[in-house]
């Protein structure tokens, strides 16, 4: 552990740096704490699903979406630890602790959703109950993306180099948390609320305020996580420690897996606007990282859900 000595006399010996971005993010995370068990509207979602009375393929599309998000949150909860372990700066460690805690809360929300909404609704609609971990909900691209990310994260434990750190951030914070999660949440919003894009589906899905309430909280947390990852990658690139091409190549290599994950969600879903959204988001990330004059938006903007959309568009 390295102890940082502040240069100003009145802060001499203080270990935490209030001016560090990660300390600011940590403070913001604590301030915006929320409880996945207290998200409201899940009973409404259950009633609306039963009322909607969908055919099985449409219900499967919802289950596939929720299963992928739940499993995704579980994977990122498990895979962040190596980065926290190799991080020496206390401010960064504090932020990463809050991030692991938040990923665990996201996992908990999706688990709760399956138990309280999906399973009881399935039963009432006369469909078989399924497990959120059932193989039918995942495809090869999804599995490959998460396996590669796990490998990129655990590589830090044996070979902690600047390049490997950048690759870890590119897999975890940029490809998964930024591009995949934001695209998926955008897809959910478009399908299960009256906001988002009208081009994603013609199908009349039920409006699900409980799902959208949970996802709104999650997206806000993700704004902070992505901001942290982007700032770190940006630092390496702007200092010249790691070449920008590594970022470009890693993200471009992962884009087909991200696209493959959002293109087979349901029969009546149009993947084109989602793939376009993902690819725009990826280009915007690279721009902020590579451009010396660009800035990662301030934390209040990253966690504000409208701002988060605007900041990352
Ligand atoms: Fe998450
Ligand atoms: Fe996250």
**Residues 40-86 pLDDT 10s:** 999 999 999 999 999 999 899 899 999 999 999 999 999 999 999 99
Tell me, what's the pLDDT at 10?
Answer: 59
Distance of CA 99 from the midpoint of ligand 1 (Å): 8
**Residues 100-115 pLDDT 10s:** 999 999 999 999 999 9
Q: What is the mean pLDDT of the chain?
A: 89
Residue 96, domain extent: 39-126+136-312
Tell me, what's the pLDDT at 50?
Answer: 96
Does any domain span residue 17?
no
Does any domain span residue 6?
no
The answer to whether residue 5 scores a pLDDT higher than 60 is no
Contacts of residue 148, Cβ cutoff 8 Å, sequence gap at least 6 = 171, 254, 257
The answer to whether residue 123 scores a pLDDT higher than 70 is yes
**Residues 238-260 pLDDT 10s:** 999 999 999 999 999 999 999 89
Does any domain span residue 10?
no
Does any domain span residue 50?
yes
Residue 195 near residue 189 (C-beta atoms within 8 A)? yes
pLDDT class of 177 with cuts at 50, 70, 90: very high
Distance of CA 102 from the midpoint of ligand 1 (Å): 7
Does any domain span residue 23?
no
- Please state the pTM of the whole predicted model: 0.90
Distance of CA 88 from the midpoint of ligand 2 (Å): 21
Domain count, the chain: 1
Distance of CA 220 from the midpoint of ligand 2 (Å): 9
Does any domain span residue 29?
no
Does any domain span residue 1?
no
Distance of CA 225 from the midpoint of ligand 1 (Å): 8
Tell me, what's the pLDDT at 203?
Answer: 64
User: What CATH number does the domain containing 198 carry?
Assistant: 1.10.620.20
pLDDT class of 163 with cuts at 50, 70, 90: very high
Does any domain span residue 231?
yes
The answer to whether residue 286 scores a pLDDT higher than 60 is yes
Distance of CA 9 from the midpoint of ligand 1 (Å): 39
Tell me, what's the pLDDT at 313?
Answer: 39
Mean pLDDT on 12-36:
92
Distance of CA 93 from the midpoint of ligand 1 (Å): 17
């Amino acid at each position: 552990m390295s102890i940082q000595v502040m240069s100003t006399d009145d802060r001499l010996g203080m270990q935490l740096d209030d001016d560090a971005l990660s300390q600011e993010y940590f403070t913001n995370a604590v301030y915006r704490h929320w409880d996945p068990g207290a998200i409201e509207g899940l009973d409404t979602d259950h009633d609306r699903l039963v009322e909607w009375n969908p055919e099985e393929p449409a219900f499967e599309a919802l289950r596939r979406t929720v299963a992928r998000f739940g499993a995704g949150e579980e994977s990122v909860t498990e895979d962040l630890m190596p980065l926290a372990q190799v991080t020496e700066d206390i401010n960064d460690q504090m932020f990463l602790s809050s991030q692991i805690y938040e990923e665990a809360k996201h996992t908990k929300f999706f688990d709760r959703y399956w138990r309280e909404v999906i399973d009881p609704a399935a039963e009432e609609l006369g469909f078989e109950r399924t497990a959120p971990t059932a193989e039918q909900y995942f495809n090869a691209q999804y599995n490959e993306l998460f396996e590669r990310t796990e490998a990129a994260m655990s590589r830090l434990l044996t070979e902690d180099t600047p390049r490997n750190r950048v690759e870890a951030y590119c897999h975890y914070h940029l490809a998964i948390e930024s591009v995949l999660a934001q695209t998926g949440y955008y897809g959910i919003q478009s399908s299960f609320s009256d906001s988002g894009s009208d081009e994603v589906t013609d199908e009349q899905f039920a409006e699900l305020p409980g799902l959208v309430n949970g996802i709104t909280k999650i997206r806000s947390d993700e704004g902070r996580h992505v901001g942290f990852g982007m700032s770190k990658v940006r630092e390496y690139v702007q200092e010249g420690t790691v070449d920008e091409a590594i970022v470009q190549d890693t993200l471009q290599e992962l884009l087909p897996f991200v696209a493959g994950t959002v293109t087979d969600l349901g029969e009546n879903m149009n993947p084109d606007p989602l793939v376009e959204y993902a690819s725009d988001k990826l280009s915007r990330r690279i721009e902020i990282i590579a451009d010396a004059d660009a800035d990662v938006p301030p934390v209040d903007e990253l966690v504000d859900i409208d701002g988060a959309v605007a900041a990352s568009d």
